[in-house]
Chain A
Amino acid sequence: MSEVRMTLGDVAPPRDRRWRTYMLLPGLIVASFLLVGVLGPALAPRDPIETDLAAVLHPPGSGHILGTDHLGRDELSRLLHAARTSLEATAAVAVIALTIGLGVGVAAGWAGGRIDEVLMRATDLFLSLPVLVVALALLGILGGGFWNLVLALSVSWWPPYARLARGVVTVERRQPYVEALDLLGVRRSRILRAHLLPPALGPSLVLLSTDAGNIILMVATLSFLGLGITPPTPEWGQMLVEARPYLQTATYLVVIPGLCITLVVLAANLLGEHLAARLGPGVELPRTSLAARLGWGPARGPTIEQPESEDTRAG
């Protein structure tokens, strides 16, 4: 019979107010990214693909707020369109990885036994593949382009979600309340859908929030390497690589997309870790994470569990 339990819990300490300020900036950045990603093309003043060889490498000034690139294209417009591209690619990879991951994980957790083992060994196999190398290989064979990029990343991105989902389902499935549902005659499909999927989804979404930044970075990296989004569709990584020869003459061409990548990925990572620490039971802040090093993780204090309360009629 437990006493009033003193648990080391995630009680938000008075420092909470400072966190909200710390998270304001990353939150704003991520929000802007999302906003621009959705609205971007509508906001762009010019056609990002339209070249104007008369206005090559103009630094930021009137006419072109952020200047033009080596083909006379408007940098701002390219930037805004690139935001959209990044967002779309990231979202696509996330959705596909989540779907495959949840599918495999829930199936394994529910089935147990041999099927569970087979599925998990397959998951381990895919987990052991280095994402970049696999993506490069696949893109090398398939060529670049949006959907090839999405495919190349999704193929190795789903395993952690499968692991997570399987863990949750394995535990929940053995809980007495699920046994009770079975005894009551509730259909298996309903048990899966209403009782096992939701608890697997929660931590998966939390994991996704920490992962999002990494996906954006990977998309940029692959495009930087020339194997992702193909020109002329603008993409930040691709813009970076195209601007490399002009590092000294038109530095702004390198700095601006670079800054975008850095800020968005950093903000996404910090925000994601913060969300994970606050929302995810058992999703720990990795000690090496930037947020933890900055001391932005939640402090731990006692949570008081309330004593039993009886609210019944007498007798």
Chain B
Amino acid sequence: MTPLLQVEDLVVRHSTRRGRGTHGVTAVDGVGLTIDAGTVLGIVGESGSGKTTLARAILRMIDPAAGRIVFDGRDIARLSGAALRRARRGMQMVFQDPYSSLSPRQTVGAMLEEAIAAVGVTDRADRRQQAKRLIERVGLRQHVLGRTAHDLSGGQRQRVAIARALSARPRLLICDEPVSALDVSVRAQIVNLLLDLRDDHLAILVIAHDLAIVRLLADRVAVMYLGRLVEVADTQELFERPLHPYTRALIAAVPDPSPFVEHDLTAIEGEIPDPAHPPSGCRFRTRCAFRRQRCAEDDPSLRSIDGQHLSACHFAEEISSHVGSPR
């Protein structure tokens, strides 16, 4: 079965003018991934990882410098104009900030109807019907249609944003930090909604820094560091048997909400390097507890360690024999 989305060797650059001259930052440096229809891929990473840039590049909101983005069989990396709009119609995005991702001047109903109209539904009554159905699908009551974004809470806004994205009947929903701007008890609602949508065979790409959220939502997880993928695996595999030092560090860094346990707050040392000047060889070596001589000289590539479990570490096999999970 051909995957719904296949990204190959994607390179995205930012050029910033800082001080004298132009600096180029390669925000995404040769990333490849696949998403099968109806599955959820999670991408985790911290600042400078390039995960948001990756998402925006897939949607062609930024132009990639190189690589292929094959969606539903068509490479959209090189398309533009009307052809691009047609080809990418099946992808939609849910943004991080629910406050600026909704139009401040429209009612929810108007927003949804506008989106529905853009897909070609000309009949007004038809649009209204569809808007009603969408609102229900995301778990909101009908009266929300008459409200403006201003009157809604963060959780409600995010649901409306999801409804709006769904109006284009996408096959892939890309969510960039969909819950990090929401209150803790509200996040659960959105996560549950996304799980429902996944059950309805919608493919989702979730980008998050919150590992626990990704654990719940994703079938497969990819870990990014400084523009590269360092590990990709099925979710359970990744969390139970991480094969890259960075993944181990990430998992260990998440504070465990359990009582009665003594929490070990040792963390990996060092800062995230400047994406404009990544370390030579393996980019993670400056902070890696397992680093050796080879790491400074030889840039490891992402390779299969165990079937579908990929890692970009020279010593992945050794790490796997380390004491099980980092917890």
Residues of A at the B interface (CB closer than 8 Å) are: 1, 175-177, 179-187, 190, 194-195, 198-199, 308-313, 315
Contacts and interface: CB of A to CB of B under 8 A. Distances in A.
Contacts of B213: none
B124 to A, nearest CB: 16
Interface of B: 59, 61, 85, 88-89, 91-93, 95, 97, 100-105, 114-115, 118-119, 139-141, 144, 153-156, 159, 161, 164-165, 167-168, 181, 183, 186, 189, 192
A36 B307 CA distance: 86
A184 B139 contact: no
Contacts of A311: 140-141, 144, 153, 156
B186 A313 contact: no
Contacts of B97: 176
A149 to B, nearest CB: 37
A134 to B, nearest CB: 36
Given A176-B101, A185-B119, A312 B61 contact: no
A193 to B, nearest CB: 12
Contacts of B139: 312-313, 315
Contacts of A194: 114
Contacts of B89: 185
B127 to A, nearest CB: 13
Given A177-B103, A311-B153, A312-B159, 7 more contacts: A177-B104, A183-B61, A183-B168, A184-B167, A184-B168, A310-B186, A312-B156
B103 A195 contact: yes
Given A1-B183, A176-B97, A186-B114, A312 B140 contact: yes
B192 A185 contact: no
A310 B118 CA distance: 29
B102 A177 contact: yes
Nearest to B143: A311
A11 B100 CA distance: 23
A199 B105 CA distance: 9
Contacts of A185: 85, 89, 118-119, 168
Nearest to A312: B139
A126 B105 CA distance: 33
A176 to B, nearest CB: 4
Contact of A183 (B92, B105, B144): B92
B156 A184 contact: no
Given A1-B183, A183-B59, A312-B159, A195 B92 contact: no
Given A176-B100, A312-B141, A184 B192 contact: no
A308 B168 contact: no
B101 A177 contact: yes
A194 B111 CA distance: 11
Contacts of A308: 153-155, 183, 186
With a 10 A CB-CB cut-off, give which of A184, A194, A195, A311 has the most chain B CB atoms. Answer: A184
A315 B192 contact: yes
A179 B101 CA distance: 8
A184 B155 contact: no
With a 10 A CB-CB cut-off, give which of A181, A186, A198, A311 has the most chain B CB atoms. Answer: A311
A84 B154 CA distance: 52
Nearest to B104: A177
6 A-B pairs with the lowest CB-CB distances in the bound complex, closest first: A176-B101, A308-B153, A176-B95, A185-B118, A186-B118, A309-B153
A183 B168 CA distance: 9
B103 A312 contact: no
A180 B164 contact: yes
B192 to A, nearest CB: 7
B101 A180 contact: yes
Contacts of B164: 180, 184
Contact of B93 (A180, A186, A198, A313): A180
Contacts of A184: 92, 114-115, 118-119, 164-165, 167-168
B205 to A, nearest CB: 14
Contacts of B144: 311
A180 to B, nearest CB: 6
Contacts of B61: 179, 182-183
A122 to B, nearest CB: 23
A35 B262 CA distance: 80
Given A1-B183, A176-B100, A184-B168, A313 B92 contact: no
With a 10 A CB-CB cut-off, give which of A179, A180, A182, A194 has the most chain B CB atoms. Answer: A180
Contact of A195 (B91, B105, B155, B156): B105
With a 10 A CB-CB cut-off, give which of A179, A185, A313 has the most chain B CB atoms. Answer: A185
B122 to A, nearest CB: 14
B100 A175 contact: yes
A308 B89 CA distance: 33
13 contacts: A1-B181, A176-B95, A179-B93, A180-B93, A180-B95, A183-B61, A184-B92, A184-B115, A184-B118, A184-B164, A184-B167, A195-B103, A312-B155
Contacts of B93: 179-180, 183
Contacts of A182: 61
A287 to B, nearest CB: 30
A186 B112 CA distance: 12
Nearest to A195: B103
With a 10 A CB-CB cut-off, give which of B102, B153, B159, B168 has the most chain A CB atoms. Answer: B153
